Amino acid sequence: MKKIFSIITSFCLLGALASCTENMAYKEGEVIASGGPSMPANGYYLELQSGADVSAAFSWLPGACADGYPVQYELLFFDRLSGGEEIGRVDAGFKTSVSISHKQLNRIAGEAGIEPNRAGALYWTLSASRGASEAVSAQRYQIDVKRLLGFTYIPPALYLVGAATEGGANPAEAVPFRTTGDGEYEIYTRFAAGEYLIVDNPQNPEHSYAIQGGQAIETASPVAAPAAGIYRITLDFNVKAAVVEQITSVSHWFCTENLPTPMEYAGRGVWMLKDHYLDANGYWDVDPPGSKDDRYHFRAKFAGNVEECWGPVNSGEDGKPSSIDPANEYFRFKIYKVGAFDQWGPKFKYHASVCEKTVDIYVDMGAEYPTHKFVLK
């Protein structure tokens, strides 16, 4: 009898273990899409703006998953209320809200066929997913947007070409703009007498532009360059805006002396100061004796005697660089306008290895991230 009872007990335990294993096996739950938007309201009108920090907030009621785990969301944009093409997708992660820049919405509106400076409808809905399971809401919601007054095509890159430019007539020597944002470009360069064009591809341009009356225009014909000199050109193709500023000087600024040391333009957005002795000592009658002052930044002057400070990315920077390696992010620039700087800051501090030494100093505003460097002599 005991043997029979033992056999029955064993089968019961095996059955229980099998049932437990089955219950523990992962079963991905069914996903339920969101119940709809909280904002913007259906039919909301939005006039897009060009500012880099301008965005529109989208939020929605949460979706769910049958297994109780959180779901991830994406906003899907379409060109029609039903059917049509998906023309944009924005990841929101696990959040039930997301901010989308006006410039990104402007691109999506362009994909929907809305012309620049015209209003039209965009349609959006939500996708909720958990692992491989995804549910897309059957309901689409409308927003009416007015696009920016910009170019329909936004080039991924721009170049200066032409006899008046630093690259001359040779397309292989074309001078590249730096991309600073969506549809935004900047260049520091020198013009000579002659003509120029701005192109998307120096070897085989499909789109070419010039500047006329403070605006970027499309043109296939080269145009006369500004008066010979060094310039900063800032372009925003989202609104066809162009700013051309003539640079009259760039100087190294040792804060304690409160005097500039002029730098020489070397070409392609680079200025240099050769064989400069950094006498970073003896300016303070303080304890302990021999205390050194090591604060500096750079100053740029423009036509009309407008001045800028080219200082550290962190306006309150008070540390020193870990090395003089040119790749050190400490040396990157941020531009400060009048009223945002004075004799003492924003400031960098010299690395100990260059104090009381002769160095060459280079400012590179043509780099991907404008920066400067020291070279010991």
Q: Let me know if residue 338 belongs to a domain.
A: yes
SS (H, E, C) the chain: CHHHHHHHHHHHHHHHHHHHHHHHCCCCCCEECCCCEEECCCCEEEECCCCCCCEEEEEECCCEECCCCCCEEEEEEECCCCCCCEEEEEEEECCCEEEEEHHHHHHHHHHCCCCCCCEEEEEEEEEEEECCEEEECCCCEEEEEECCCCCCCCCCCCEEECCCCCCCCCHHHCEECEEEECCEEEEEEEECCCEEEEECCCCCCCCEEEEECCEEEECCCCEECCCCEEEEEEEECCCCEEEEEEEEEEEEEECCCCEEEECEEEECCEEEEEEEECCCCCCCCCCCCCCCCCEEEEEEEECCCEEEEEEECCCCCCCCCCCCCCCCHHHCEEEECCCCCCCCCCCEECCHHHCCCEEEEEEECCCCCCEEEEEEC
HSE on the CB side for 121, CA within 13 Å?
A: 12
Confidence of residue 192 (pLDDT cuts 50, 70, 90): very high
Domain residues for the domain of 214 are 159-229
Instruction: Give yes or no: residues 139 and 163 share one domain.
Output: no
Closest CA to 189 of 173, 206, 207: 173
pTM (2 d.p.): 0.79
Q: Given 91, 118, 146, which residue is the final one in a domain?
A: 146
Residues whose CB falls within 8 Å of the CB of residue 217, separated by 6 or more in sequence, listed in order: 209, 210, 211, 240
CA distance 141 to 123: 5
* CATH classification of the domain holding 365: 2.60.40
CA distance 238 to 180: 13
Instruction: Give yes or no: residues 43 and 141 share one domain.
Output: yes
Q: Is the peptide bond before 226 cis (omega within 30 degrees of 0)?
A: no
Instruction: Give yes or no: residues 137 and 84 share one domain.
Output: yes
Q: Let me know if residue 258 belongs to a domain.
A: yes
Instruction: Give yes or no: residues 197 and 87 share one domain.
Output: no
Question: Which region among 12-16, 220-224, 266-270, 372-376 has the lowest average model confidence (pLDDT)?
Answer: 12-16
CA distance 233 to 221: 19
Instruction: Give yes or no: residues 254 and 225 share one domain.
Output: no
Q: Counting beta carbons within 10 angstroms of the beta carbon of residue 348, is it exposed (0 to 12), middle (13 to 18) or buried (19 or more)?
A: buried
Q: Let me know if residue 240 belongs to a domain.
A: no
* CATH classification of the domain holding 132: 2.60.40.10
Q: Let me know if residue 299 belongs to a domain.
A: yes
Instruction: Give yes or no: residues 115 and 170 share one domain.
Output: no
Residue 35 has a pLDDT of 64
Average of pLDDT values for 196-222?
96
Instruction: Give yes or no: residues 120 and 223 share one domain.
Output: no
Residue 288 has a pLDDT of 52
Residues whose CB falls within 8 Å of the CB of residue 91, separated by 6 or more in sequence, listed in order: 72, 73, 74, 98
CA distance 106 to 16: 60
Confidence of residue 26 (pLDDT cuts 50, 70, 90): very low
Residue 227 has a pLDDT of 97
Confidence of residue 92 (pLDDT cuts 50, 70, 90): very high
CA distance 372 to 138: 54
Q: Given 146, 171, 190, which residue is the final one in a domain?
A: 146
| Domain count for the chain | 3
Instruction: Give yes or no: residues 121 and 217 share one domain.
Output: no
CA distance 65 to 319: 49
Predicted confidence (pLDDT) per residue in 124-173, tens digit: 999 999 888 888 988 999 999 999 999 988 999 999 999 999 999 899 99
Predicted confidence (pLDDT) per residue in 300-359, tens digit: 999 999 999 999 999 999 999 999 999 999 999 999 999 999 999 999 999 989 988 999
Q: Given 229, 259, 276, which residue is the final one in a domain?
A: 229
Distance between terminal CA atoms of the chain?
100
Instruction: Give yes or no: residues 370 and 253 share one domain.
Output: yes
Instruction: Give yes or no: residues 290 and 320 share one domain.
Output: yes
Q: Let me know if residue 154 belongs to a domain.
A: no
Instruction: Give yes or no: residues 196 and 290 share one domain.
Output: no
Residue 197 has a pLDDT of 98
Residue 251 has a pLDDT of 98
- The fraction of the chain above a pLDDT of 70, given in percent, is 88
User: Do the beta carbons of residue 58 and residue 83 sit within 8 Å?
Assistant: no
Average of pLDDT values for 26-38?
62
Instruction: Give yes or no: residues 326 and 274 share one domain.
Output: yes
CA distance 209 to 190: 18
Confidence of residue 5 (pLDDT cuts 50, 70, 90): very low
Q: Let me know if residue 165 belongs to a domain.
A: yes
Q: Let me know if residue 181 belongs to a domain.
A: yes
Q: Let me know if residue 255 belongs to a domain.
A: yes
Q: Is the peptide bond before 288 cis (omega within 30 degrees of 0)?
A: yes
